[in-house]
A = this chain, B = another copy of it.
Amino acid sequence: MDDTAPTGALSSRILDHRTAALAADAARLLAETRARRPRVHALTNAAAQAFTANLLLAAGAIPSLTIAAEEAGHFARRADAVLVNLGTLDAERRAGIPVAVAAAREAGRPLVLDPVFVEASPPRLAVARELLAQGPAIVRLNPGELEALGGRAPTPETAAALARADGLVVALTGATDVVTDGVRSLRIGNGHPLMARVTAMGCAGSALVAAFAALEPDRVTAAAAALLVLGVAGEIAGARAVGPGSFPAAYLDALDALCEADLVSHARVS
């Protein structure tokens, strides 16, 4: 690299390197998911269960979904990663989540937390705060949820502060996704507007974050690679779908067929 190169050109080269590196990581983790078929046990909300299972299957992973306290530990122990999503937080889920989280911790499995709609319900926010103290590897959330958990405007800096405070990776999704452990940060500019027009897209995406976390010890890479895969699949599906009705099928078809060339040609990382 030439120290005299103009700043614009330099940062453009840095961008290119990050994009190429994350596209390669994402392609590798997708190939490993298809080959090694990690098990993901997802305690997720009622509206997201079927789509979450189908997204994991389309990616090559093996889903299980049981919530009951009596069974959640058995399923979490045989899984390679555990996802806890706080949507539709009923009594059964309140009882099952701690059992699954304890089993995941004992077995050393990565835990991914998706604190859906914590801004809408004080009891749910309290549960999310308790779970943040249990050492999740990654928290995947949107700006409204980050504002509630971080206590201030949902900026990348708030995400980084939350990551540092709780010793985890924050994956903040939106028009541009931000993945940060409080020191390193990646921004992913992929995705499609139809992803916000279908329920459970974010929830199911968190399950792919968990699948990649089962395979990749670097949590920033795992989370960012999953969000890149999801964003590129969304762009390919968005170009094929008629509208929000046909989008979910097109999205899973695109995820199933996604290859490294798709990732390299679409990725926008900084």
Q: Which of B66, B121, B122, B246 is within 8 Å of A250, CB to CB?
A: B246
With A and B bound together, what is the CA distance between A213 and B57 in angstroms? 30
Q: Is the Cβ of A252 less than 8 Å from the Cβ of B244?
A: yes
Q: Which of A47-55, A131-139, A172-180 contacts B (4 or more CB under 8 A)?
A: A47-55
Q: Is the Cβ of B57 less than 8 Å from the Cβ of A117?
A: no
Kindly report how many copies of this chain are found in the complex they form together: 3
Cβ contacts under 8 Å, A251 to chain B: 245
Question: Closest residue to A252 on the B side, CB-wise?
Answer: B245
Q: Which of A13-21, A82-90, A99-107, A148-156 contacts B (4 or more CB under 8 A)?
A: A82-90
Tally of chain A residues near chain B (CB < 8 A) = 55
Given contacts A74-B122, A244-B253, A253-B242, contact A68 B49 (CB under 8 A): no
Cβ contacts under 8 Å, A89 to chain B: 66, 68, 70-71
Interface 0/1 of A197-236, CB less than 8 Å to B: 1111000000000000000000000000000000000000
